[in-house]
């Protein structure tokens, strides 16, 4: 793979194919959720979300890091939690299967610096502690459940290289399976090369899985779509009242399967290609047209589209509804699409802590 991810706006890394052996020296893998061993060898970041299990393994490079292996699988860990309050046995089995592959990749790459996190499903489920114990027993992976503020901060670190270098800042959002984070980030005008600062953030307990389960995701009517937008808007409204008054020189910056799917549809890709999607700009008109195109598709048409697939066909319109609520609250003319996020944020944070990367 050997895909470079720079910490300044520039060439994009290729991402989640996970194919082909690559090398960079490392030590012995460990199972702790936040294993600290200083050095500049091999790093691994795992994000177990409500919908996806994702892994990124990388080595520091001159101006960022180089991805040497990766993995991504939709496991729907949060399926049914909104109704039962528990992670189901089927979801546990799917998660353990995916995490076993991640463990094998971490060990084969000899990653010695790890951060292995879980998010909303493990924050919300009543049996989350038992699930984590079982994961540790069966895979050796010990998951760290992070809070929503940490999740927002990691997304900022991971996505900030895509902030418009000529702009003042962005409204960053991360549409997850079980929660959605919104962060207002701005540059210090006196330090234009410094990391953008978090001015305000919020998290809502709605994501594509929970919203689709409540309103239905297969056959979405005009009425049910409007109801989804309205429910999300109720959560966002107080935040927007405080932080949407001055949007001069700002843009939207989105990281999620929703926005990357929209970008793939907008580009008319025959199959999803991260290299073409990560960092693309979409205008407000582009977004409106692409959302309308998706809403005009039947469930089967969405399932047959290679940028969506059957795994996301019942979730993507819920994501569009969340996006439309954000767009209504923060009417900005452009969106930059990020096929990056928490994993990249964890890698950068660990590498900076170890001195393998310079802080901006």
Of 43, 124, 56, 46, the closest CA to residue 91 belongs to 124
38 close to 326: Cβ distance less than 8 angstroms: no
Q: What angle do CA 184, 187, 188 make, to 5 degrees?
A: 125
- Residue 136: alpha-carbon gap to chain centroid: 24
pLDDT at 8 over 80: no
Locate the domains of the chain by residue range: 3-148+343-353, 159-338
**56 has which bridge partners?**
45, 70
The pLDDT assigned to 283 comes to 98
Determine contact, residues 278/15, Cβ cutoff 8 Å: yes
Q: Give me the residues paired with residue 48 across strands.
A: 53, 118
- Residues 54, 300, 316, 210: is their CA dihedral positive or negative? negative
Convert the pLDDT of each residue in 9-65 to its tens digit. 644 433 443 333 344 644 434 454 555 444 459 999 999 999 999 999 999 987 789
Contact 10, 273 (CB under 8 A): no
Quote the distance between the C-alpha of residue 254 and its chain's center.
9
Res 357: pLDDT = 81
Topology of 159-338 in CATH? Answer: Nucleotidyltransferase; domain 5 (3.30.420)
The share of the chain scoring above pLDDT 90, in percent, equals: 81
Mean of per-residue pLDDT scores for the chain: 89
Q: Is the pLDDT of residue 234 over 70?
A: yes
pLDDT tens track for 257-299: 999 999 999 999 999 999 999 999 999 999 999 999 999 999 9
φ, ψ of residue 212 in degrees (nearest 5): -65, -35
pLDDT digits (tens, 9 = 90+) for 67-121: 999 999 999 999 999 899 999 999 999 999 999 999 999 999 999 999 999 999 9
pTM: 0.87
* Beta pairing class for 169-175 and 180-186: antiparallel
Decide whether 3-148+343-353 matches 159-338 in CATH topology: yes
pLDDT at 9: 61
For 214, residues 6+ apart whose C-beta sits below 8 A from its C-beta are 82
As its CATH architecture, domain 3-148+343-353 has 2-Layer Sandwich (3.30)
């Amino acid at each position: 793979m050997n895909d470079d991810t720079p910490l300044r706006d520039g060439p994009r890394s290729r991402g989640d194919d996970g194919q082909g052996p690559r090398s960079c020296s490392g030590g012995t893998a460990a199972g702790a959720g936040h294993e600290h061993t200083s050095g500049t060898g091999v790093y691994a970041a795992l994000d177990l979300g409500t919908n996806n299990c994702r892994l990124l393994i990388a080595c520091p490079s001159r101006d960022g890091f180089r991805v040497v292996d990766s993995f991504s699988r939709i496991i729907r860990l949060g399926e049914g939690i909104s109704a039962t309050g528990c992670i189901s046995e089927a979801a546990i089995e799917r998660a353990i299967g995916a995490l076993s592959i991640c463990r094998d990749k971490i060990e084969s790459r000899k990653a010695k610096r790890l951060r292995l996190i879980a998010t909303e499903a493990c924050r919300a489920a009543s049996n989350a502690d038992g699930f984590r114990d079982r994961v540790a027993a069966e895979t050796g992976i010990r998951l760290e459940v992070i809070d929503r503020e940490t999740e927002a901060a990691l997304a900022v670190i991971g996505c900030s290289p895509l902030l418009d270098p000529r702009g003042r800042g962005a409204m960053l959002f991360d549409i997850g399976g079980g929660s959605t984070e919104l962060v207002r980030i701005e540059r210090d005008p006196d330090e234009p090369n410094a990391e953008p600062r978090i001015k305000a953030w919020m998290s809502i307990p709605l994501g594509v899985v929970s919203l689709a389960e409540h309103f239905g995701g297969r056959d979405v009517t005009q009425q049910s779509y409007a109801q989804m937008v309205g429910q999300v808007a109720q959560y966002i409204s107080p935040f927007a009242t405080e932080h949407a008054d001055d949007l001069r020189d700002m843009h939207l910056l989105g990281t999620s399967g929703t926005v990357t799917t929209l970008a793939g549809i907008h580009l008319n890709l025959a199959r999803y290609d991260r290299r073409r999607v990560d960092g693309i700009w979409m205008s407000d008109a582009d977004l409106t047209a692409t959302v309308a195109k998706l809403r005009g598709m039947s469930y089967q048409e969405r399932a047959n589209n290679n940028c969506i697939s059957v795994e996301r066909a019942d979730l993507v319109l819920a994501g569009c509804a969340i996006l439309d609520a954000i767009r209504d609250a923060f009417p900005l003319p452009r969106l930059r699409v990020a096929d990056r996020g928490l994993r990249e944020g964890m890698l950068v944070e660990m590498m900076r802590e170890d001195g393998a990367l310079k802080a901006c």
